[in-house]
Chains A and B, each alone.
Chain A
Amino acid sequence: MNIVNIEVCELSKSFGDTKALDRISFFLPEGAIVGFVGPNGAGKTTAIRIMAGLEQPDSGKVMLGNLNMIEYPDQVRAQIGFMPDSMPDSDVIRVWEYLDFYARAFGLRGQAKSSAISRVAEFTNLASLPDKMLSELSKGMKQQVSLARVLLHDPKILLLDEPAAGLDPRARIELRACLVKLAQEGKTIFISSHVLSDLDDIATGAVIIEKGKIVSHGKLTDLSASAAGEFCRIVLSLLELNEQILEQINGLELVESAIKSSNKQIMVKIKGGTANYHSAMVQIFMTGLPIIRTERPDAGIEEIFLKSTKGEVN
């Protein structure tokens, strides 16, 4: 398989006086699941639409390997699958007709078309729905159909704009499972989402955008380590937990806050970050509390996002 990376270079786009994207640059390695997060109106959809070839940027370029996607959109369309946040609705078109149309639009004919439709229908669990009208489907089913459409021509790169929007927890779990499987097949997945917890489990990288500018991007482990520098936290598991114990920990000099995270667990935030970690641990053990386990969790996308955007979620 050819190695296909995407590189976004200095991309800018304005709508009238509003600057939607301001010279954004990032890199998506092959086979990665990269979360694209940012507050509403940050420019996520604009960036994804430019990458899908639906909008023209004012300046900058998007490189797919050695090919400029903006100058040669026709050549790269076959390698990209774009899934918008909502699927078009219709009460006169069936699921299989919808897939059939897009399969033929991507040049698939005869047996190749039939097997492509069967393959994606099986992958997205649509086998029982081919004769349903699109308007009869639930939101979750529609997203499945939309994902099936994206996969018809077996693209190497998937650009997903808010795929989990409006889905119930079960549908979200199923979608996550599908995305993980696709990543294992070597597809690069760029996924814009507001549901940050959905990305935590599957993303290997993140691009954080705010007011049209990239504020942070890279591998999730690197971003997490960087975020953890300031947000040093410890999870304490105790034999028993009550209000007195909580007050006792909150009263320690190096503890900024201690909150109950589950029945027998406390999440402790250390003052001064990593530098005070050891001193804080000494203080905690000196209390003689029945601690059976300590854990220092990584910062998740949610925390990275909050840190990077300074909590300015609109």
Chain B
Amino acid sequence: MAHFKLSSFADTISHSLADSLNPVLVKDIRESLRSRSLYYCTVLVIFLQVLLFVLNHWSVRDNDSVNTILRFYLMIYLFCAYVPILSLSQNWRKERCSDALALEHTTPLTPWQIISGRIQAFGVLWFTLLVVGMPLPAYLICQEPVTVFSIINSLFMFTAIFFGISFFVNTGGKRTELLNILSVFIFLIAGSHIINAFVSGRNFARAYQWISEPLIVIYFSVLCILLAILYGAGGFKPIRSNRYWIPHFALFLAFLSVPFALSFFVFHSVITVETASGWGGVFLTIYGVIVVSFATLANVRITERCRLDRPKNPLLRIIYWLCGPSAVARYSFGMLLMLAGCAIVCYGQGVITENGLNYDKFNDRGLLFLPSLVMCAWCYSCLTRGICSIFRQKPLSVLFSIIAFTQVINVFSSIVDGDAKIFSLFSPFASLFFDAYELIIWQGSFSLIMSLWLIYTLRHESRRQ
């Protein structure tokens, strides 16, 4: 009875709170909390937090690395801002297409209430993600000569500018996905200048200077060509959605927290490069295996949810997951293979050996490499599925995953300190590591491989369906 009373009281409070808020805000928050994009964004934020926590303990060789860490830290907030924007613009587009927006106008709600409700929803979601991502900034603020206000102001400025550009560009047409690519492009080209004009803080002005504009132009040109090929190759197919994200997220948190708790209480230290040698390194590898196992299980669960045909034998099912018809599996597996191939190429070049990615020596970076690959694959898998839930269109989701993934690759390029060329390919400092001719060869080769891979995947997918 007491429980019933408490529950009724809580219900009354929550209903009263909801009643006092803008109906559009409550609706958008409800829809967003049930969408997978928020879950994947949160996973990404936590993942990058962990990664940056590891990075931050690494002895920094020069001042540039400080900015490197800062800019990656800011990247998280780009994701934080980007996901609600995508969700909102997707909602907006869906409502406009399905007449739901028109129905809202048949109610006594004013246009201002309808618009402000959405902006408030964005604010709430962004703030939530900001809070989730707060531990690292707090830590960085303690470490680096940056004021709290300059960080907070810049973040708001950063988000506001991106938000503004995205919404402005989205008024130009109905193809939200293409317009969002365009808005990212405009933001990357113009955003840093706008921020530099407003923010005179040394750290933030420098933090955005890493963006190499010619590289962005090349990158987006390739993207546009790929997109054109994809349009021509097979059109778009919808991807099934899955809204049962809460158990997945809980499992992920459990898998994430257990190894870290063990590291604190058993090894009495946090996982850093210094403690990653010896037993720490073994532990880190086991942790990576656990994470990838979880990723496998999660994928199998999602495949089950999608009610695709699958073998009953668990072993066959895992093989089926790796090589089967699941788009996620194929993209993840394909990316994993690509990474492995790249690592072999790098190893063959002797570059990695010279820079410590040598398992025989059992040194710090070597130990980080394998878990990094594992986490990289996991991250890509999360990204693909997250973005799939936003666009529901495979080729476009894959392209967006690649955009996001290259940012993750950036993080890994800093793990190997920019010396392993394949990781540095996407680095903003690429021009420092390659001469112009070599850069074109690398970029061109990579684009070709990526195009072939995507076209192959798409054709295979079309044939299957």
Contacts and interface: CB of A to CB of B under 8 A. Distances in A.
B19 A110 contact: yes
A149 B106 CA distance: 11
A92 B102 contact: no
Interface in B93-152: 94-95, 98-100, 102-110
B243 A107 contact: no
Contacts of B27: 93, 97, 101
A26 interface: no
A92 B95 contact: no
A89 B26 contact: no
Given A77-B108, A97-B30, A101-B23, A86 B103 contact: no
Contact of B108 (A105, A110, A113, A149): A105
A110 B107 CA distance: 18
Contact of A104 (B23, B34, B103, B243): B23
A137 to B, nearest CB: 14
A105 B31 contact: no
B241 interface: yes
B83 to A, nearest CB: 15
Given A84-B99, A104-B19, A77 B26 contact: no
A64 to B, nearest CB: 14
Contacts of A102: 103, 107
Nearest to A89: B98
Contacts of A91: 241, 243
Contacts of B34: 92-93
A49 B106 CA distance: 10
B108 A74 contact: yes
Nearest to A135: B241
A86 B99 contact: yes
B97 to A, nearest CB: 9
Given A84-B99, A92-B31, A53 B106 contact: yes
B105 A53 contact: yes
A113 B103 CA distance: 19
Given A88-B99, A92-B35, A78 B108 contact: yes
Interface residues of A, number: 29
A105 B104 contact: yes
Contact of A52 (B30, B35, B106): B106
A90 B243 CA distance: 12
B15 interface: yes
Given A88-B95, A90-B31, A93-B31, A82 B19 contact: no
How large, as a class, is the contact surface on chain B?
20 to 34
A82 B105 CA distance: 11
Interface in B73-109: 94-95, 98-100, 102-109
B107 A106 contact: yes
Contacts of A78: 108
A289 interface: no
A106 B104 CA distance: 10
Contacts of A106: 107-108
B16 interface: yes
Interface string B1-40: 0000000000000011011000110110011001100000
Contacts of A74: 108, 110
A54 B105 CA distance: 7
Given A92-B34, A92-B243, A80 B106 contact: yes
Contacts of A88: 94-95, 98-100, 103
Interface string A126-158: 000000010000000000000001000000000
A110 B15 contact: yes
B314 to A, nearest CB: 29
Given A53-B105, A74-B108, A110-B16, A105 B100 contact: no
A133 B24 CA distance: 18
B8 to A, nearest CB: 13
B35 A105 contact: no
B177 to A, nearest CB: 18
A296 interface: no
A109 interface: yes
Nearest to A103: B23
A247 to B, nearest CB: 55
B102 A54 contact: yes
B98 A86 contact: yes
Interface string B37-72: 000000000000000000000000000000000000
A113 B30 CA distance: 18
Nearest to B101: A88
Contact of A105 (B23, B30, B95, B241): B23
Contacts of B31: 90, 92-93
Nearest to B35: A92
Contacts of B110: 74
A88 B104 CA distance: 11
A160 to B, nearest CB: 13
A74 B106 CA distance: 9
A102 B100 CA distance: 11
Nearest to B240: A91
Nearest to B114: A105
Contacts of B100: 88
Contact of A93 (B30, B108, B109): B30
Contacts of A93: 27, 30-31, 34
A101 B98 contact: no
Query: Which residue, of B24, B95, B108, B241, has the highest number of chain A Cβ atoms within 10 A?
Result: B108
Contacts of A52: 106
Contact of A82 (B24, B94, B95, B103): B103
A157 to B, nearest CB: 12
Interface in A101-129: 101-102, 104-107, 109-110, 113
A84 B100 CA distance: 10
A93 B34 CA distance: 8
A57 to B, nearest CB: 16
Contacts of A97: 27, 30
Interface in B227-271: 241, 243
A92 B91 CA distance: 11
A87 to B, nearest CB: 8
A78 B26 CA distance: 21
A109 B241 CA distance: 33
Nearest to A84: B99
A216 B427 CA distance: 72
Nearest to B22: A104
Contacts of A92: 30-31, 34-35, 243
20 contacts: A74-B110, A77-B106, A80-B106, A82-B103, A82-B106, A86-B99, A88-B98, A88-B99, A91-B243, A92-B243, A93-B27, A93-B31, A93-B34, A101-B27, A102-B107, A104-B18, A105-B24, A107-B108, A110-B16, A133-B243
Given A52-B106, A82-B106, 7 more contacts: A77-B107, A78-B108, A84-B103, A88-B100, A89-B98, A91-B241, A113-B19
The 7 closest A-B pairs by CB, nearest first: A88-B100, A105-B107, A88-B98, A104-B23, A92-B34, A109-B19, A101-B27
